[in-house]
């Protein structure tokens, strides 16, 4: 699901029905928020008729769009949920991705601008016919939070939800020990880590240049696109990991802090309560925001 592998691990329950319920919930949200499922609310809005500007959507979809717009504003557009024309053009999940022509990038770039979308209650309004939405950078975090709420409502106190790089811990391990979450080494095998974090009841979300990428003429092109240039960000970062209570914030901030670069991203992370960031630069150096290094496992 969600273009990745979804894993839920319960440590204090053997109830298969709880797991089934969590997966069902994940699937229901994907049906609403996907850009590719033709019946989803996002797909329907993105494929609207000329002149069709206002849509009534589910409370959940409105909430995720509002959250996405919040991070778009917070980053002055460095994170932008209307990046969809460009992400579709680059098509990193396709069988044979390649660098689009400059003309094509310029044309799609003109459609991007989060200020062209507004939310009022359950109503989404577009300012034009060409702006489209991609919630890929924030939906997984939102879904993980809802899955955690569901697990807790079922009496689960110790669990891990992993939506392919979005890890959300429910409580701690039985016996009072923290969960150990590894930070993947960029471009290495998934099992190779650069550090291990001790986590209790927090979300750990990473964004990096190694997740979806391809090489053309010796250059690596990754999926975190700059809404101002139409090309992947080139700012010396290879990975940003955010620790936060809500996974939706970790999701939005991992992309936002990546987009802002080491200095800007660090400044933003330090300005937010209960948010910790770990940056990895191209030279392999690890940089921690205030108090983030406290989470590094000592064993």
- Average the pLDDT over each of 100-109, 173-182, 184-193 and give the range with the smallest value: 184-193
Across 25-42, average pLDDT: 96
Q: Taking 70 as the threshold, does the pLDDT of residue 185 lie above it?
A: yes
For 130-159, the pLDDT digits (tens) are 999 999 999 999 999 999 999 999 999 999
Domain closes at, from 105, 126, 147: 126
Which three-class secondary structure state does DSSP give residue 57? Answer: coil
Q: Tell me, yes or no, whether 238 lies in a domain.
A: yes
pTM, rounded to two decimals: 0.94
**Are 102 and 230 contained in the same domain?**
no
Q: Tell me, yes or no, whether 26 lies in a domain.
A: no
pLDDT at 165: 80
Q: Tell me, yes or no, whether 266 lies in a domain.
A: yes
Largest CA distance in the chain: 60
Q: Tell me, yes or no, whether 103 lies in a domain.
A: yes
Q: Tell me, yes or no, whether 7 lies in a domain.
A: no
pLDDT at 210: 82
Q: Tell me, yes or no, whether 8 lies in a domain.
A: no
**Are 279 and 185 contained in the same domain?**
yes
**Are 183 and 227 contained in the same domain?**
yes
**Are 266 and 147 contained in the same domain?**
yes
User: Domain range spanning residue 150?
Assistant: 139-295
**Are 118 and 177 contained in the same domain?**
no
Q: Predicted confidence band at 122 (pLDDT cuts at 50, 70, 90)?
A: very high
Answer yes or no: are the C-beta atoms of 273 and 187 closer than 8 Å.
no
Nearest CA to 139 out of 242, 31, 214 is that of 31
Q: Taking 70 as the threshold, does the pLDDT of residue 49 lie above it?
A: yes
pLDDT at 192: 85
User: How many angstroms separate the CA atoms of 60 and 70, rounded?
Assistant: 15
Across 172-194, average pLDDT: 88
pLDDT at 8: 97
CATH number of the domain encompassing residue 146: 3.10.520.10
User: How many angstroms separate the CA atoms of 77 and 228, rounded?
Assistant: 8
What is the tally of structural domains in the chain? 2
pLDDT at 107: 97
Which residue has tokens 């080139």? 234
User: How many angstroms separate the CA atoms of 202 and 168, rounded?
Assistant: 6
**Are 204 and 76 contained in the same domain?**
no
**Are 165 and 261 contained in the same domain?**
yes
Domain closes at, from 126, 156, 175: 126
Q: Give me 254's structure tokens.
A: 């991992």
Four-point Cα dihedral 18, 23, 27, 30, nearest 10? 110
**Are 166 and 290 contained in the same domain?**
yes
Answer yes or no: are the C-beta atoms of 90 and 108 closer than 8 Å.
no
pLDDT at 190: 67
For 195-227, the pLDDT digits (tens) are 999 999 999 999 998 878 899 999 889 999 999
């Amino acid at each position: 699901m969600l273009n990745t592998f979804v894993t839920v691990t319960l440590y204090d329950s053997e109830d298969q029905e709880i797991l089934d319920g969590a997966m069902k919930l994940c699937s229901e949200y994907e049906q609403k928020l996907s850009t590719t499922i033709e019946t989803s609310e996002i797909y329907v809005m993105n494929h609207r008729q000329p002149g069709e500007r206002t849509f009534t959507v589910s409370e959940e979809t409105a909430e995720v769009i509002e959250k996405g717009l919040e991070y778009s504003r917070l980053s002055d557009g460095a994170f932008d949920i209307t990046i969809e024309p460009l992400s579709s053009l680059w098509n990193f999940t396709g069988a044979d991705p390649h660098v689009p022509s400059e003309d094509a990038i310029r044309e799609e770039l003109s459609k991007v601008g989060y200020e062209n979308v507004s939310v009022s209650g359950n109503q989404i309004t577009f300012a034009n016919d060409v702006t489209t939405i991609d919630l890929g950078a924030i939906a997984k975090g939102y879904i993980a939070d809802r899955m955690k709420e569901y697990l807790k409502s079922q009496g689960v106190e110790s669990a891990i939800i992993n939506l392919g790089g979005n890890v959300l811990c429910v409580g701690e391990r039985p016996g009072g020990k923290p969960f150990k979450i590894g930070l993947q080494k960029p471009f290495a095998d998934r099992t190779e880590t650069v550090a291990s974090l001790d986590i209790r009841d927090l979300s750990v979300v990473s964004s990096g240049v190694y997740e979806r990428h391809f090489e053309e003429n010796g250059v690596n092109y990754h999926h975190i696109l700059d809404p101002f240039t139409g090309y992947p960000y080139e700012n010396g970062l290879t990975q940003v990991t955010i620790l936060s209570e809500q996974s939706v914030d970790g999701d939005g901030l991992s992309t936002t802090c990546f987009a802002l670069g080491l200095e800007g991203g660090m400044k933003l992370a330090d300005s937010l309560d209960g948010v910790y960031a770990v940056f990895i630069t191209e030279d392999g150096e690890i940089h921690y925001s205030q108090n983030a290094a406290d989470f590094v496992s000592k064993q």
